[in-house]
């Protein structure tokens, strides 16, 4: 199947600064590709090239099979863009913003209004639709921005850090909207600095740092790259903590750690470890409140990936 969007060896320089240094990205139709990286990693530059706003200095990018440099107009018919800074017009009302975009997308007057009203409703902005956007809260503005990028029912949506600066409840709203888009068959490119966000939304993740993709895979694959899983045990009675620690050390071969009061964790290799833990706890008659086998968090993945990358850079 053809990719919804694809970047191959993208290079972009600003003077002596290399913003992108050979970036490959691929978004499969109907999925979310998370592009994860710190500030200045090159995420926004990559999005701007894929959105035809910026010409690459090297490499190529396609959307729906159309080259972003050679066929920009066809690409623009397929995409919706939600910028890092909400790019709606503050002086216009929410409705006027959406109607303008509808008109620019060749909707006829009444159809355009219908589409605008429909989107305001969908994004819970019906009551605010007649007010200038400068009176909106940050969350409302972000919702309107997302609505604005959906007017033309795009195949591919770029969400450039859609939740930066939003409080957790508003963030959940945006997450749900993204999930809804995917169920409608839209392909999404999501850039984020938040590992949690990529983990929650992305089918695949490309980790980007210093203008290069340093890892790619599903969230689970990325977690595996860093290796081991962790067994977490919280005994019902804290008196049992030393006994649990002995059991864990016996299985893992390393001393258990206590990241918070009453909890012990130990890194393990292999899938049989959890079974051993369960059986030994049972035979020792230690009741537990919490027992889990978890993958490393994406934070741990990211730090080990970027750390390794930086070491390679220094060695080179």
Partner 1 sequence: MSTSTTSTRLSDPHAIPDRPEPRPFALVRHSLQLARRSLLKTMRTPEQLLDVTLQPMIFIAIFVYLLGGAIAGSTHDYLQFLLPAIMVQTIMMSSTVTGTNLNTDIKKGVFDRFRSLPIARSAPLIGSVLGDLIRFVVAITVTLGFGYLIGFRIGTDPLQLLAACLLVIVFGFCLSWVSVLIGMLVREPGAATGLGFLVMFPLTFGTNMMVPTDTLPGWLQAWVKINPATHAMEAARALMLGTPDASGPVLKTLLWSAVLLVVFAPLAVSAYRRRT
Summarize as ranges the residues that interact with partner 1 (CB under 8 A).
1-2, 4, 29-30, 48, 51-54, 64, 73-74, 76-81, 83, 85-92, 96, 100-101, 103-108, 111, 118, 132, 148-149, 152-153, 155-156, 180, 183-187
Please answer whether residues 8 and 25 qualify as being in contact, where contact means their C-beta atoms are separated by less than 8 angstroms: no
Toward partner 1, which CB reaches closer, 180 or 258?
Answer: 180
**In the complex, minimum distance from the CB of residue 68 to partner 1, in angstroms, rounded to a whole number:** 11
Toward partner 1, which CB reaches closer, 103 or 243?
Answer: 103
Toward partner 1, which CB reaches closer, 147 or 305?
Answer: 147
Q: Which residue has the tokens 């051993």?
A: 276
CA 208 to chain centre: 12
Tokens found for residue 71:
């066929």
Toward partner 1, which CB reaches closer, 149 or 265?
Answer: 149
Alpha-carbon Rg for the chain, nearest whole angstrom, is 24
Distance between CA 148 and CA 246 in Å, rounded?
58
**In the complex, minimum distance from the CB of residue 69 to partner 1, in angstroms, rounded to a whole number:** 13
Toward partner 1, which CB reaches closer, 51 or 281?
Answer: 51
Toward partner 1, which CB reaches closer, 67 or 89?
Answer: 89
Q: How many CB atoms lie within 10 A of CB 79?
A: 23
Toward partner 1, which CB reaches closer, 122 or 297?
Answer: 122
**In the complex, minimum distance from the CB of residue 64 to partner 1, in angstroms, rounded to a whole number:** 5
CA 160 to chain centre: 9
- Residue 60 buriedness (CB in 10 A; 0-12 / 13-18 / 19+): middle
Toward partner 1, which CB reaches closer, 159 or 231?
Answer: 159
Distance between CA 193 and CA 160 in Å, rounded?
10
**In the complex, minimum distance from the CB of residue 78 to partner 1, in angstroms, rounded to a whole number:** 8
**In the complex, minimum distance from the CB of residue 153 to partner 1, in angstroms, rounded to a whole number:** 5
- CA-to-CA dists, residue 132 to 119, 144, 158, 279, angstroms: 17, 12, 25, 64
How big is the chain, counted in residues? 316
Q: Which residue has the tokens 């009444």?
A: 110
Task: Pick the closest to residue 214 from 198, 200, 225 (CA basis).
Answer: 225
Distance between CA 29 and CA 161 in Å, rounded?
21
**In the complex, minimum distance from the CB of residue 111 to partner 1, in angstroms, rounded to a whole number:** 7
**In the complex, minimum distance from the CB of residue 148 to partner 1, in angstroms, rounded to a whole number:** 7
Strands (E), 107-176: 156-160
**In the complex, minimum distance from the CB of residue 118 to partner 1, in angstroms, rounded to a whole number:** 8
């Amino acid at each position: 199947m053809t990719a919804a969007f694809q970047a191959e060896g993208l290079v972009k320089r600003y003077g002596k600064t290399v913003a992108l240094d050979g970036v490959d990205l691929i978004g499969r139709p109907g999925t979310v590709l998370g592009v994860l990286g710190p500030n200045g990693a090159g995420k926004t530059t990559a999005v701007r090239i894929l959105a035809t706003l910026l010409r690459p200095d090297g490499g190529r990018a396609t959307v729906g099979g159309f080259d972003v440099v050679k066929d920009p107009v066809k690409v623009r018919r397929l995409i919706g863009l939600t910028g890092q800074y909400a790019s709606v017009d503050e002086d216009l009302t929410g409705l006027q913003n959406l109607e303008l975009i509808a008109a620019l997308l060749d909707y006829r007057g009444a159809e355009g209004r219908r589409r605008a009203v429909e989107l305001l409703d969908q994004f819970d902005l019906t009551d605010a639709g007649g007010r200038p956007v400068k009176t909106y809260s940050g969350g409302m503005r972000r919702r309107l921005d997302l609505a604005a990028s959906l007017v033309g029912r795009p195949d591919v949506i770029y969400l450039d850090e859609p939740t930066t600066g939003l409080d957790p409840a508003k963030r959940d709203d945006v997450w749900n909207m993204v999930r809804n888009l995917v169920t409608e068959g839209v392909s999404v490119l999501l850039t984020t600095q938040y590992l949690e966000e990529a983990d929650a939304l992305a089918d695949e993740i490309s980790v980007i740092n210093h203008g290069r993709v340093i890892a790619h895979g599903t969230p689970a694959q990325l977690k595996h790259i860093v290796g081991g899983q962790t067994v977490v045990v919280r005994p019902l009675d804290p008196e049992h903590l030393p006994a649990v620690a002995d059991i864990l050390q016996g299985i893992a071969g390393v001393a258990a750690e206590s990241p918070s009061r009453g909890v012990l964790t130990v890194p393990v290799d292999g899938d049989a470890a959890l079974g051993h833990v369960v059986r030994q706890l049972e035979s020792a008659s230690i009741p537990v409140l919490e027992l889990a086998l978890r993958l490393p968090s994406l934070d741990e993945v990211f730090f080990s990936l970027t750390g390794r990358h930086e070491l390679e850079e220094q060695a080179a």
